[in-house]
Amino acid sequence: MFQRVLIANRGEIAARVSRTCRRLGIESHAVYSVADADALHVREADGATHIGAAPVAESYINVDAVLDAAIEAGCDAVHPGYGLLSENSHFAQACDERGITFIGPDAAHMELMGNKNQARATMRDLGMPVIPGSPATVGDEDAEPAAESVGYPLLIKASYGGGGIGMATVRRQNQFSRMLRRARSSAQRAFGSGEVYLERLLVEPHHIELQVFGDGQGNATILGDRECSVQRRHQKVIEEAPAPAPQFTSERRERLYEQVRAAVGGLNYRNAGTVECLLDASGEIYFLEMNTRLQVEHPVTEMVTGLDLVEWQLRIAAGEPLTALPGYGDPPPVSGHAIETRIYAEDPDTLLPSPGSIDLLEVPNEPWLRLDAGVASGDEVSHFYDPLMAKLIVHGDDRAEALSRLRSALSDSRIEGLKHNIPFLRRVIETQPFIDGDYDVTLADALIKSEER
């Protein structure tokens, strides 16, 4: 096992990785920008190195600065968390070249899945159904004929990146050229590539994902599924496990598990990954993308399986096979139901970032509640970074109990000093579709629009 792990991230995920390292007797080493000198993730770690100015380009995604910090601190491994450098194949390769273990998949798998169009083709060849679309990326000359072939309505999607950036919905042919220019420009600014492809637009789908692990030795397993359909601006805000969508029947679940297990095994994938899918109204399930990292929403899987996914990441990176990991079972036993809400420093009406000082942050102290926080009372939410403050996760024997406990936890939580989205989260979970467990990706945006009227 590793002696000292550098955590190449910030906020709640960096603090969360530190906790697992501490439990396993591994020293954790943080990195921080000038804006994060007193941040919680720095306080949680055993050591820390300043790596640059506040903008992420000058600190958290500066590969040389991060690796220099790892070498200077004597770290033998790097955990990237999620976001930032977590899916950067060049960073993974640079770690290998400097003799530092990257706690994640191989650079080749990151590069393969980082290009979404290439990932679609690969997973289709491995037996996964994919959403009908253009067979390849489209150029300016062949874009309109490709769109006519796919049919309207359709999505223009960036080949790289995520979070809805470089994505555009086109409902009619006369909108296509304008939306194509907009999507290309957005993708070029965000990801350095204006490459896009086309996909048929699924109407009101459910967003279902499977937590996968592989050990690079031909073994792969699935640690259950999650529903992530509560999204605003294509970003998730509430997740739960198992997925409650009534269309996701036991037969469809079993078939999807078989397809995903075969595909991940066929890739000879190593470490954690998430296979994301869309479930349409008819019950058809399509591969969407594969994230080659730990997900923000991994705690709901941990709550229903009793596993520590960061520990699994560390042990696999250290060379252990899946079958030797603590709690391994295929499939693992799943107990009860868990729901996670992401707590942001943002206006609950406009959902725009609202950085500032936190005078008070308190949640109930209950055995069924978990708080993964990146800040505490007295800390500052900086305008330089994503305004995610914490994730509040509850567990119950069934979904009804989990939902009741979530209502109580959100009602009894107190955040003072800045605006936050708890009022919005409370409105979402009181909608009838959410109560029924039959909601889709349009729920949050529809709620926002209805309140604007």
Q: Which domains does the chain have, with CATH numbers?
A: 4-103 (3.40.50.20), 132-200 (3.30.1490.20), 206-452 (3.30.470.20)
Pairing mode of beta strands 285-291, 270-279: antiparallel
Spot the catalytic one: 16, 226, 261, 293.
Answer: 293
Per-residue model confidence as pLDDT tens digits over 380-413:
999 999 999 999 999 999 999 999 999 999 999 9
Which residues does residue 3 pair with via DSSP β-bridges, in sequence order?
none
Based on the residue annotation, tell me whether 189 is a catalytic residue of this protein: no
Per-residue model confidence as pLDDT tens digits over 439-449:
999 999 999 88
> What's the CA gap between 358 and 374, in Å, rounded?
12
Length of the chain in terms of residues written: 453
Ranges of residues in the chain with a pLDDT under 50 are none
Under DSSP, is residue 366 helix (H, G, I), strand (E, B) or coil?
A: coil
Q: What pLDDT, on a 0 to 100 scale, did the predictor assign at position 56?
A: 94
Cβ atoms of 38 and 69 within 8 Å: the answer is: no
Sheet containing 196-200, strands listed edge to edge, beginning at the edge strand earlier in sequence:
168-170, 154-158, 196-200
Question: 9: which 2 tokens?
Answer: 């991230």
Q: Could you tell me which of 441, 379, 305 has the C-alpha nearest to residue 40?
A: 379
- pTM for this structure? 0.93
Listed in sequence order, the residues at least 6 apart from 369 whose beta carbon sits closer than 8 Å to its beta carbon are 363, 392, 393, 394, 395, 405, 409
* Preceding amide of 242 cis, omega within 30: yes
Per-residue H/E/C for 275-292: EEEEECCCCCEEEEEEEC
DSSP 420: -
